Chain A
């Protein structure tokens, strides 16, 4: 299979499909921009996975839904007056200062009532489903891995261990901040020989050394933000912004399983997430304009507050699509409503779309993957019919 051809065909198909719906695509300037972007300004993709199931109804508050207060008055009341109005009856939690700025600048799409395909309220099953993206979970094959394989790009997981989302045929890197002095170059050279008959160890060693090279000079960035989500985001951005850096990255954030006292906890988590996005933007610098950041979680939480001022495992949640390449500024996803009769199994927000449909649309518009490639990444998922990415990015017009 010739991927380069496939990419070109994908672009032509997309042009044809776009004709009539977007004026920009008709202009000669836009057509000339279908060439491969210059080396250091390639379309970047960052996937942030929030493990533990984020309470979407607290992140994106459906304030105009008449049933909201019946279900969770004590959770909504303290934040509703300071929440940031998104229009259409939705509001962002007040901790999302950077996200509201991005929304104003039309670089953020909040998507409501999304699911990840796992018909279970198990964290691990749902995360596996979301990460694998296959109808039958394969913990050795993640959708982002298949996507980078098709795209012929590079990837990095900012994690101690390789998450399912990036496992597969394509060799993904892992990276996490160091706390010890690195071993001597001489030892590494000798280990290269020691591992020459061991395929796994020799490949890992080569990747590790290559990565370390890329990141020498990063200590300054790390010290600035210490070892929290922000520091991981900063390192991630520095790697992506490098001209030989990867095309995509996976970031993880734990601690969203708020069964109790969620008001204070979520306020802190939202702030950390928000700050992490701000730091991504800051450190990606001019690359931000070519970047899409997808923030997803495995499922949502119960519509009603539980007995310990928290929420239990639910069904539909929400996602954020942001970045300089995003055509944002409006809430997407059909709102199913919170009236008793509209709830899933009488307790959860009803899903109206699948997280992976939106991701499929992003892969199609941002990385221009062909229909066949998209089927390889998500065999049973349909592409969401919605323009999520600006037809071409600012930085491309400038070149």
Chain B
């Protein structure tokens, strides 16, 4: 194993950040901890590129187009290519651009973490339009407040309501329930299993049913509805009556009933344990240090789930700063850090950004396409297979040919030149600048953080 100086700045930019870019490493050098803590501010997104309103308008337009083409038996234009794909592409590229340019990489890492925690996938045309909006509208603005606010914003967002079929879930004894439709427990189940308590969180099938009833009526606006598009509480879908969840009785208060349950779930100790562990596992190690996790849990409980406070505890904890690189980068981390290594943030190269996006698809971590509400795996073993490595090599081989950076300059910028003697020797012997750069970005030091 390589002998490394325990350089906290290198750990700060690589383990907690997205890999050094430009002069970042020297900015972190003075006080790495403080450099991280001043980053805990929400990323801001440009609404003009896409929001619920524009997505709903497009969904309505597409519906009208389809109807027209049926009535006049005309051939439908290729909506996917002309409308949907460019819309989604623009949002994904924007998020990549923000990630490579950001001067708050830790905030972006946390956004990516929660975006994957509340994973939505592009399964239908509607979901293709809605999925990329969830993190922009519901997650980013609530990233450093209370987890309860984040949770409610996510569960009431149209992307989540449609993805897990709650928008059409109808309480059996509601007004609409007298007709044929009924309850769908998909969202309620995933709230408990994936979003809050975790699968061993001690809830029962009855709790799932009860929660499904409490949030029945959490739906989305129709074309005919006045006012802004998005979440709509439909009283006539809502199952009337009090609900009992985890032993606590929630009186029937319409929409507020479901909110009250989510607020309690967000503060629940099991939620604190489940998400603290997952967060530490994401950033620090597959088997995160027990003391670190329990410190985070205590902060969660004490602050009733203040995310900023929990992250601060993690950053300040000595066991987060192990000199060993314990995490193998996920494709997203790998692609972003490779891009940041070779490109200055103030001068984004669109061609390289396109290659970055292709890299994500190619290495199996296409944005909003995990195909599962559990999202992508964050464990080393999921991304360190032989095929995954071959793809990294192919992709880096392409990327390194597209830049003119000198390997030794990049090594100085991102590692303060602290590389193993073997890596240094091999970089010096590379046959070309591109090959040297490829080897630097494929080195054991760069694959892990």
Contacts and interface: CB of A to CB of B under 8 A. Distances in A.
Contact of A188 (B205, B362, B364, B393): B393
Interface of B: 1-2, 123, 164-165, 168-170, 180-186, 189, 193, 199, 205, 358, 361-364, 371-372, 374, 377, 379, 381-391, 393-398, 420, 422-423, 426, 430-431, 435, 438-439, 442-444, 447
A35 interface: no
A351 to B, nearest CB: 16
A312 B186 contact: yes
B388 A174 contact: yes
Contact of B438 (A125, A187, A197): A187
Contacts of A183: 393-394, 396-397, 438
Given A121-B189, A161-B364, A197-B1, A307 B387 contact: no
A178 B394 contact: yes
Contacts of B390: 178, 182, 205, 208-209, 211-212
B388 A161 contact: yes
A139 B430 CA distance: 40
Given A161-B382, A255-B371, A312-B185, A190 B388 contact: no
A260 B387 contact: no
Contact of A205 (B168, B170, B182, B386): B386
A51 B374 CA distance: 12
Nearest to A171: B386
A193 interface: yes
A211 B85 CA distance: 34
A19 interface: no
Given A204-B385, A204-B389, A307-B183, A190 B358 contact: no
Given A122-B193, A186-B435, A194-B423, 18 more contacts: A160-B388, A161-B381, A174-B388, A176-B391, A180-B391, A182-B394, A194-B422, A194-B442, A195-B444, A201-B389, A204-B384, A204-B389, A208-B389, A208-B390, A208-B393, A211-B387, A260-B184, A308-B165
A207 B193 CA distance: 36
29 contacts: A122-B189, A124-B193, A139-B379, A161-B388, A162-B381, A162-B382, A167-B381, A174-B385, A179-B361, A179-B362, A180-B395, A183-B394, A187-B393, A187-B438, A190-B439, A191-B439, A194-B444, A200-B384, A204-B388, A205-B386, A211-B386, A211-B387, A255-B371, A306-B184, A307-B168, A307-B169, A307-B182, A312-B186, A345-B205
Nearest to B181: A307
A160 B387 contact: yes
B205 A124 contact: no
Nearest to A260: B165
B182 A190 contact: no
Interface string A153-179: 000010111100001000001111011
Nearest to B382: A161
Contacts of A271: none
Contact of A186 (B199, B374, B431): B431
B221 to A, nearest CB: 18
A345 to B, nearest CB: 7
A181 interface: yes
B426 A194 contact: yes
- The size bracket of the interface on A is 35 or more
Contacts of B184: 259-260, 306-308, 310, 312
B440 to A, nearest CB: 10
Closest 9 CB pairs of A and B: A307-B182, A160-B364, A183-B397, A207-B386, A208-B390, A174-B385, A208-B386, A174-B387, A307-B181
A174 B392 CA distance: 14
A157 to B, nearest CB: 8
A259 B186 contact: yes
A56 to B, nearest CB: 19
A345 B388 CA distance: 43
Nearest to A197: B422
B397 A187 contact: yes
Contacts of A162: 381-382, 385
B421 to A, nearest CB: 10
Nearest to B440: A194
B199 A122 contact: yes
A181 B358 CA distance: 13
B335 to A, nearest CB: 13
Most-contacted residue by chain B among A159, A173, A183 (CB, 10 A): A183
A315 B417 CA distance: 56
A198 B444 contact: yes
